[in-house]
A and B are shown apart, each in its own frame.
Chain A
Amino acid sequence: DAGVIQSPRHEVTEMGQEVTLRCKPISGHNSLFWYRQTMMRGLELLIYFNNNVPIDDSGMPEDRFSAKMPNASFSTLKIQPSEPRDSAVYFCASSSGTSLNEQFFGPGTRLTVL
């Protein structure tokens, strides 16, 4: 398996622009997680899907952030409008009951908002 796939790997945008981050979980995994990592705040869970349904979105910082999982093999995290404080590395991870809940992380998307 190719592992968790994220795109783009790097994104540089200007404040106010819409940003869409993409994630393809490992095939067969039924849980998907979006995390944000910054030096100041460390690793934060933003939202968690189980069987394509959002289970816990309490970590989503504000209404500018939204996430969708239209099917088992694809998820997006959207920021609209983006702000400089959104600059971070965004990780997607997936897991399943058969993997004994181990989360497999993608390579991350490094977002810079100017």
Chain B
Amino acid sequence: AQSVSQHNHHVILSEAASLELGCNYSYGGTVNLFWYVQYPGQHLQLLLKYFSGDPLVKGIKGFEAEFIKSKFSFNLRKPSVQWSDTAEYFCAVRRNNAGNMLTFGGGTRLMVKP
């Protein structure tokens, strides 16, 4: 069965530190990839998505992610985090034969210390 793995469950950083959150998936076919963010007490919002083309995707709020097909990975990065980035981050994958269904990873809780 397809799975999406986010190996870091909790990450604590100081402001201005660099961030990289891992995401790996197990499906071998064509995929679309997403990162969602959930701020405390709020719903999930899209950060960025990859469908085709340049494997380095730029998203909102200075986030980016790189699709590395050979590694089945789609890691999320930000060069300098802010306290307001404290949130839970979810990676999601859509298989090309799965309609509009997404498979979500378990999430990574990021805490940024001021």
Interface residues of A, Cβ cutoff 8 Å to B: 30-31, 33, 42-43, 45, 48, 50, 55-56, 91, 93, 95-97, 100-108
Contacts and interface: CB of A to CB of B under 8 A. Distances in A.
A105 B43 contact: yes
B101 A102 contact: no
Given A96-B100, A105-B36, 4 more contacts: A45-B103, A48-B101, A50-B99, A91-B43
Nearest to B49: A102
Interface of B: 32, 34, 36, 42-46, 49, 51, 90, 92, 94, 99-104, 106-107
Contacts of A101: 32, 94, 100, 102
B100 A107 contact: no
A interface: dominant SS:
strand
A103 B102 CA distance: 8
Contacts of B42: 107
A100 B107 contact: no
A31 B100 contact: yes
A50 B49 CA distance: 22
B43 A106 contact: yes
B100 A43 contact: no
12 contacts: A31-B100, A33-B101, A43-B107, A48-B100, A50-B100, A91-B43, A93-B44, A102-B34, A102-B46, A103-B100, A105-B36, A107-B42
A72 to B, nearest CB: 14
A102 to B, nearest CB: 6
